[in-house]
Structure 1
Amino acid sequence: MKILTHKNYNEMCRAAADIIVKQVQQKPDSLFCLTSGDTPAGIYKLLVQYANEGKVDFSQCWFVGLDEWVGMDKNDAGSCTNFLYETFFIPAKISPSQMMVFDAKAADLDASCEAMNSFIKTHGPLEIMLVGVGMNGHIGLNEPGVNFNSYAHHSPLAPITVEVGQKYFKHETHLTEGITLGLRHLQEAGIPMLLASGIKKAGIIATALEGNVTNEVPASIFQTLSSGHVMLDEDAASGLINGH
């Protein structure tokens, strides 16, 4: 893995956006996995700006959403899919035919997982898979204890994920289960890209990148990914002993 430390959040976002733009230029029909949350927001803002300026053309690209709270969809404020629509899909004028997001309201969640796996198989390989890291080391909604070889799946949320997840909602929201791409998808991606910013992520970044590789810290899988890119700002990197 490459650990790329940038002076601040804006520089980290610019570097990540540049990698995505370069990928589109090299392969216009690339498949990307996008994550939601505060950390990638700046990247999407730049990508929309570049698209509007004609610096990048997403018209042939394919997109999948990384994960979703079970029981929610794009119409639910605070959902992962709503975030992707509001920050990227709508402003970048991405057609619904170019994307696949989880049907997290499906009666049959296993079928929803299979539909996602099938879309990736058809339009893949995943060229770039953007992920963040949770305070417990989760990636997407792959919680501690997850099988490293899993594809899309659904599982109960860890208590800290439920607690931290409340920040995306105006009112306390009942979160119990998540549906997510798996860590096998991450291992098969051309560039698995981990994003982290801010001092609050310094501890878990140090544990994930310099501690033991264990499914109790899902993000530690990045230590095994030769093509992995870890994009950090100085605050998030501040706990690393090797001082990247």
Structure 2
Amino acid sequence: MKIYKYDTYDKMSKAAADIVAKQLKEKPDSVICFPSGDSPTGMLTHLVDCANSGKIDLSQCFFVGLDEWVGMDQNDFGSCKHYLHANFFSKLNIAPDHITLFDAKADDLEAECEKMNAFIKSKGGLDMMIVGIGMNGHLGLNEPGTPFDLYAHLSELDPLTVEVGQKYFQQETELTHGITLGLKHLQEAKIPVLIASGIKKAPIIHEALQGLVSTEVPASILQNIKPAIILLDEDAGSELEHGA
């Protein structure tokens, strides 16, 4: 794992976008997983600008969504699908068959997990998997206690995830379960990337990256993933011990 800290959120976001751009130049048909949330917005904005100015070509790339709240789809403000379409897909001319997102309204969610696993496997795995980190150390919706060896799966949401998740919605919303790529996907991704910003993330970043590796802090698995790249703004990395 390599940790990089940047003075500002924008510099961190540009660095994340540059990593994606470099990957696309080396392999135009890369399979890349994007998260939703606050941290990736700047990265997606930079990528949209680069694509629309002709600096990068996204037409051959395959995009995979990291997770979704069960029971929601693109029409639900606050859903992961809504976020990715609003901040990325709607601003670009990407073929629909190059976008694979969880159907969290599917009648058979277990089958939906298997479908996602099969798609990723058929493409030879994820070339890049970008994740944020939750206040409880979750990656995607891999909540505390989640085994490290799972692929896509259903997840019962941790109370802190339910509480913090309300910020994405315009009114209080019942959240109970999620559907998510697993930590096994992260371990097998050719380039695993964590992005985090803001002073609120500083304590969990310290615990995840310099504490004990434990399923109680899912993000701690990153310590065991040699190619992992950690991108932090100054605030998020402010509690890391000297030398990180």
TM-score by shorter chain over 0.5: yes
- In structure 1, give the amino acid aligned to 2:65: G
**TM-score (ref. length: structure 2):** 0.99
8 Å CA contact retained: 1:32, 1:127:
yes
Instruction: Specify the alignment match of 1:15 in structure 2.
Output: 15
Partner of 2:194: 194
Q: Does 1:51 align with 2:51?
A: yes
Partners of 1:50 and 1:123 lie apart in 2 by: 25
User: Which moved further from structure 2: 94-103 or 174-183?
Assistant: 94-103
Offset at residue 37 of structure 1 (A): 0.6
Deviation (angstroms), 1:125: 2.1
SS at match of 2:40: helix
Unpaired segments ≥5 residues, structure 1: none
Q: CA deviation at 1:242?
A: 2.6
Listed one character per residue, the Cα deviations across residues 96-140 of structure 1 (whole Å, up to 9, x for unaligned) are 100111010011100000110011011232111010000000000
Q: What is the aligned residue count?
A: 244
Identity in percent:
60
AA aligned to 1:61 is: C
Secondary structure class of the residue paired with 2:185: helix
1:70 maps to which residue? 70
Deviation per residue, 1:40-82 (Å, 9 max, x gap): 0000000000000000001110011000000001111100011
Query: What residue number does 1:237 align with?
Result: 237
Amino acid at match of 1:27: K
Aligned partners of 2:219, 2:72: CA distance in 1, in Å? Answer: 25
Q: Which runs of 4+ in 1 moved over 3 A?
A: none
Kindly provide the CA deviation profile for residues 130-164 of structure 1, in whole angstroms up to 9, marking residues without a partner as x: 10000000000000000100000002100000000
Is the partner of 1:90 in helix, strand or coil?
helix
Deviates more, 1:209-218 or 1:89-98: 89-98
Distance (Å, rounded) in 2 between the aligned partners of 1:123 and 1:88 = 22
- Whole-Å Cα distance in 2 between the matches of residues 48 and 205 of structure 1? 28
**Conserved 8 A contact 1:237-1:243:** no
Partner of 1:131: 131
Question: How far off its partner does 1:237 sit?
Answer: 0.5
Q: Distance in 2 between matches of 1:92 and 1:35?
A: 17
Shift of 1:93: 1.8
After superposition, residues 25-40 of structure 1 pair within 5 angstroms as: 25-40=25-40
CA shift, 1:202, in A, is: 0.4
Cα distance in 2 for residues equivalent to 1:75 and 1:129: 25
Taking the aligned partners of 1:92 and 1:139, their CA distance within structure 2 comes to 27
TM-score by length of 1: 0.99
Give matches, 1:61-140, under 5 Å: 61-140=61-140
- RMSD between superposed Cα atoms in Å: 0.7
Secondary structure of the 2:173 match is: coil
Aligned to 2:173: 173
- The SS at the match of 1:4 is strand
Alignment match, 2:218: 218
